[in-house]
Every structure is written in C-alpha cells, then in structure tokens.
Amino acid sequence: MKTRIPLFSVNEMVDGVCKTMQIPDGAYTKEIFVVFKNDDYFVYGNSCPHTGSPLDWMPDQFLNLDKTLIQCATHNALFRIEDGYCVSGPCTGQSLQPIPVKVLDGVVVIEIDEDGHPQ
C-alpha cells in the first residue's frame, strides 16, 4: 500500500526556482530538492554522488549562474536538470538520486511504500 505525501501547491513554484524539503525515508528523513523548469518538476536527493555532501551552497540554491545545470557547492560538479546526470566534475557519468513525484489536483506529491520509502 502506498501513502501519498503532499509537498506543495503548484502555485508555489516559478520557473528556475529550487526548493528544499524533508521527506520520510523509512525510520529516517531524507533531504530532497525540487527544481521547477519548463512546467515540470525534477526532484532529487540532496546528496552529491561523489562524496555524499549536500549540493546547495545556500538554502534553496542549487543551480549554476545561468540556471541551466545543477551545481554541487563542494566540488563544482554539474548535473543536467532533466535527469540528474553529471556532465562535469569528479563524478562525471554518475547521477543524482531521482525522487518520483506526481501532480494531483494542483498539489505535487510523493508516494511512499509501507516501509516509508519514496516510490
């Protein structure tokens, strides 16, 4: 059985904006971030595949200066927004951990399984 967890209303995001939040992950919580770009939501765990460090350099700041790529604050690795694939840096060829989301009745939600893990 899946449980839906509402994250935010679609009216809360504008193009090129990122948002950090905590979601359940089993007995723990996990920090994720959302990038809203071209009317789509891209959600990833806030953890660089190179060292596991958080990606943001300031709260809700994940994108490079021209807002075309996600940038790791620790090692300047660059990731495509659309799929989290690293195109430059020490983890080139690796990817961020995607978190699937759905939009239901104007609300962005995640689904978690019976053990509390995102689906």
Domain map of the chain by residue range? 3-112
Decide which of 3.30.70.1140, 3.30.200.20, 2.102.10.10, 1.20.120.160 is the CATH code for 3-112. Answer: 2.102.10.10
Evaluate whether 76 touches 36 at the Cβ level (below 8 Å).
Answer: no
> 57 pLDDT band (50/70/90 cuts)?
confident
Q: What is the largest CA-CA distance in the chain?
A: 42
What is d(CA 119, CA 116) in angstroms, rounded to the nearest whole number?
9
Residues written for the chain = 119
What is d(CA 44, CA 50) in angstroms, rounded to the nearest whole number?
15
pTM: 0.91
Q: pLDDT tens digit string along 19-51?
A: 999 988 888 888 999 999 988 999 999 999 999
Q: Is 117's pLDDT higher than 80?
A: no
Q: Is 84's pLDDT higher than 80?
A: yes
Smallest CA-to-CA distance from 100 within 82, 81, 118 is with 118
